[in-house]
Amino acid sequence: MTTITLESLRLLQSPMTQDVAERQQEETTVELKVTGPKAQQLSEMLEPLIQQASAAFAKGQEIRIVLSPSEMTTVEAAKYLGISRPTLMKMIRAGEISAHKVGTHFRLHSRDVEAELQKRIQEQMRALDELREWEMEMDKLHNLTDGY
C-alpha cells in the first residue's frame, strides 16, 4: 500500500518518466482516520470532497478550500449575492430566502445564501440560452427576407 503525500501527487503531475510510470502502477490509497462520536457522519462528508480534490489535483487543476461561516449578516449575504441589502431585505420579507432573527437583526444560513446564488446563476444561464435562441431565430428571419 502507498500513502499519497503532496510530493507524490506532484510527481504524478510531472511528465512521465520510467520512475513515475512505475510509481503509478502501484496501488495508491489515501487514508484518513476519523474517530469520535460523529466519525461516521464526518467520514461521509469528507469522502466525496477528498475524491473531488484528488481528481482535480491529478488533472493539474488548482484546489482551494474556502472556509465560510455557518451564518451571514444581511450585508455579507447581499454582497455575496451581488445585490443590494434593501433588495435582500425585500426577498426575506417576501419569503424568497430563508432568514432568522438574532435580536433585532436578520441572519441567513450560508447554505441558503449559496443555494440562492446557484438558483440565480441557473436563471441567468436559462435567460442567456433563450436570448441565443431568439438571436438565431432573428438571423434566420433576416436571411429569409434578404432576398426580397
In the chain, domain spans:
2-58, 71-145
CA distance 11 to 26: 14
CA–CA distance, 44 with 94 (Å, rounded to integer): 35
Quote the pTM value.
0.54
**Residue 4 banded pLDDT, cuts 50, 70, 90:** very low
List the single range of 35-39, 84-88, 108-112 with lowest mean pLDDT.
35-39
Distance CA(4)–CA(22), nearest Å, equals 15
pLDDT in tens, 20-35: 555 555 556 666 677 8
C-alpha dist (Å) from residue 61 to 15, 20, 57, 85: 15, 19, 5, 35
Q: Dump pLDDT digits (tens) for 45-83.
A: 888 888 888 888 888 888 877 777 899 999 999 999 999
pLDDT of residue 10: 47
The answer on pLDDT for 99 being more than 60 is yes
* Conformational region of residue 11, where left means phi above 0, alpha means psi within -120 to 50, and beta covers everything else: alpha
Q: What is the CATH number of domain 71-145?
A: 1.10.1660
